[in-house]
């Protein structure tokens, strides 16, 4: 025995002790358990039928209800592959011997066709939170076994690595890229907006459309000429929107139809600079433009319309 350090009282004696049978235990399975494990090693789930017709899974050689023997020879029947969760618990901090090293559930799973449930691990993904179970973990959840790869299966209940929920949705994250070309009328309209000009078209009958376009939608005839319009006009009707939109700074925000002076159709635009409750049909508005350095030829340069309080014809700064 090692001697105590000189001068102190006796230290507590502690050491390690390991019990492990070299090579492991060998257990004979008998015909029923053996059959179950053989089938499982080979990729199938089978239960056994009692005299009353109930299917035990995993199978035992007797009816656990009353110990009665099974019919002889035993009648094996495939169950699953899917099952239903009956009860469960959520393991937030797995122990070393647990089958998974991230949070998971233990669950009693009743395989389809079986009358008794199987206990096993239920994997809800590596990102499952430790502090609470995922919302979809509930009795009735449909699950399926995930078997180990064939060459790793040895005939053990752990040949099922775990269970996983059935697939109920797939994600389709496809993306298509297009190159879109603006036609001549649209290109000209947007180019003019870069310079603070609003262009429209006049029909043969003298009606004025804005934005610029090639064809009169009423009769399909070509437009007769180009017209420049002022940035002032009248709000014909509008909507006060309480549903947020990425393009509008905050809710509520107002969108409305603006009949520019001289035009015969309306432009749909954002209305700003006025309390929503004070907006009314018939009010005069004028365009407010993006500052020149923010303008691009890929979108209109009018930011929005604001109340036009001036009675004069100064127009806005462009």
Partner 1 sequence: MSAVAVVSYASRIHPEGTADSEAGLVHSAVTEALARSGLARTDIGFTVSGSLDYLTGAPFSFVGALDALGAWPPISESHVEMDAAWALYEAWLRLRHDDVGAALVYGFGKATQGSLPEVLARQLDPYYLAPLGVDAVSLAALQARAVLDAGKADPAGLAAIAERAAGRCAARPRHAPEDAPPLPLLPGHTARPADGAAAVVLATEDTARRLAAEHGTAPVWIRGLDQRIDGHSPAARDLARCPSAERAAAGAGLAEAPVDLAELHTRHPHEEVLLREALGLGPEVPVNPSGGPLAADPVMATGLIRIGEAARRIAAGTARRAAAHAAQGPCLQHNLVAVLEGDAR
Partner 2 sequence: MSRPAAVIGVGQTRYRSRRDDVSMPGLVREAALRALDDAGLGFADIDAVVLGKAPDLFEGVAMPDLFLADALGARGKPLLRVHTAGSVGGSTAVVAASHVHSGAFRRVLAVAWEKQSESNATWALTMGHPFSTSLVVGAGGYFAPFIRAYIERSGAPGHIGHLVAAKDRRNALRNPYAHLRIPDITPEAVAATPMLWEPIRYLEACPSSDGACALVVAGEEEARTAPRPPAWILGTAMRSEPMTFAGRDAVDPRAGRDCAADVYAQAGIADPRRDLDAAEVYVPFSWYEPMWLENLGFAAPGEGWRLTESGATAADGDIPWNPSGGVLSSNPIGASGMIRFAEAAQQVRGLAGEHQVDGARTALGHAYGAGSQFFAMWVVGAERP
Q: Which residues here bind partner 2, judged by CB under 8 A? A: 168-169, 172, 174, 180, 182, 186, 189-190, 203, 207-209, 211, 217-218, 236-243, 245, 247, 252, 255-257, 264-270, 276, 281, 298-300
Q: Is residue 178 close enough to count as binding partner 1 by CB under 8 A?
A: yes
Q: Is residue 214 close enough to count as binding partner 1 by CB under 8 A?
A: yes
The structure tokens listed for 257 are: 């139809």
Q: Where are the beta strands (DSSP E) in the chain?
A: 46-49, 55-56, 75-78, 83-91, 104-111, 118-122, 142-147, 160-165, 198-202, 208-209, 225-229, 232-241, 253-260, 267-271, 284-289, 302-307
Query: What CA–CA distance (Å, rounded) separates 197 from 260?
Result: 13
Figure out which of the listed residues 102, 115, 165, 186 binds partner 1, where binding follows CB under 8 A.
Answer: 186
Figure out which of the listed residues 72, 183, 275, 294 binds partner 1, where binding follows CB under 8 A.
Answer: 183
CA angle (301 as vertex; 255, 240 as ends), nearest 5: 5
Instruction: Output 27 or 169, the one with its CB closest to partner 2.
Output: 169
Instruction: Output 130 or 218, the one with its CB closest to partner 1.
Output: 218
Figure out which of the listed residues 1, 170, 243, 313 binds partner 1, where binding follows CB under 8 A.
Answer: 170
Q: Is residue 206 close enough to count as binding partner 1 by CB under 8 A?
A: no
Figure out which of the listed residues 1, 14, 19, 176 binds partner 1, where binding follows CB under 8 A.
Answer: 176
Tell me which DSSP letter residue 23 carries: T
Residues 6+ positions from 70 with CB-CB distance below 8 Å: 32, 48, 49, 50, 51, 61, 62, 63
Q: Is residue 169 close enough to count as binding partner 1 by CB under 8 A?
A: no
- Total residues binding partner 1 (CB under 8 A): 23
Binding site for partner 1 (CB under 8 A): 170, 172, 174, 176-184, 186-187, 213-221
């Amino acid at each position: 025995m090692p001697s105590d350090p000189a001068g102190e009282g006796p230290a507590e004696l502690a050491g390690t002790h390991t019990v492990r049978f070299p090579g492991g235990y060998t257990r004979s399975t008998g015909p029923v358990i053996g059959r179950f494990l053989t089938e499982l090693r080979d990729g199938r789930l089978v239960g056994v039928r009692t005299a009353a017709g109930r299917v035990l899974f995993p199978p035992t050689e007797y009816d656990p209800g009353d110990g009665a023997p099974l019919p002889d020879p035993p009648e094996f029947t495939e169950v699953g592959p899917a099952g239903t969760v009956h009860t469960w618990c959520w393991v937030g901090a797995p122990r070393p011997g647990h089958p998974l090293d991230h949070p998971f559930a233990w669950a009693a799973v009743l395989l389809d066709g079986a009358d008794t449930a199987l206990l096993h691990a239920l994997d809800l993904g590596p990102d499952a939170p430790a502090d609470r179970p995922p919302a979809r973990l509930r009795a009735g959840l449909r699950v399926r076994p995930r078997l180990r790869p064939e060459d790793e299966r040895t005939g053990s209940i752990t040949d099922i690595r775990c269970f996983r929920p059935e697939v109920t949705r797939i994600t389709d994250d496809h993306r298509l890229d297009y190159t879109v070309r603006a036609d001549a009328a649209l290109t000209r309209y947007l180019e003019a907006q870069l310079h603070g000009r609003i262009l429209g078209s006049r029909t043969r009958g003298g009606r004025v459309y804005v934005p610029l376009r090639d064809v009169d939608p009423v009769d399909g005839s070509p437009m007769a000429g180009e017209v420049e319009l002022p940035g002032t006009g009248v709000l014909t009707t509008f909507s006060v929107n309480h549903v947020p939109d990425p393009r509008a700074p905050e809710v509520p925000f107002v969108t409305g139809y603006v009949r520019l002076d001289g035009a015969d159709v309306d432009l749909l635009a954002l209305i700003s600079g006025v309390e929503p409750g004070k907006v009314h049909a018939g009010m005069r508005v004028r365009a407010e433009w993006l500052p020149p350095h923010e303008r691009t030829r890929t979108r209109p340069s009018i930011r929005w319309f604001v109340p036009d309080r001036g009675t004069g014809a100064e127009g806005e700064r462009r």
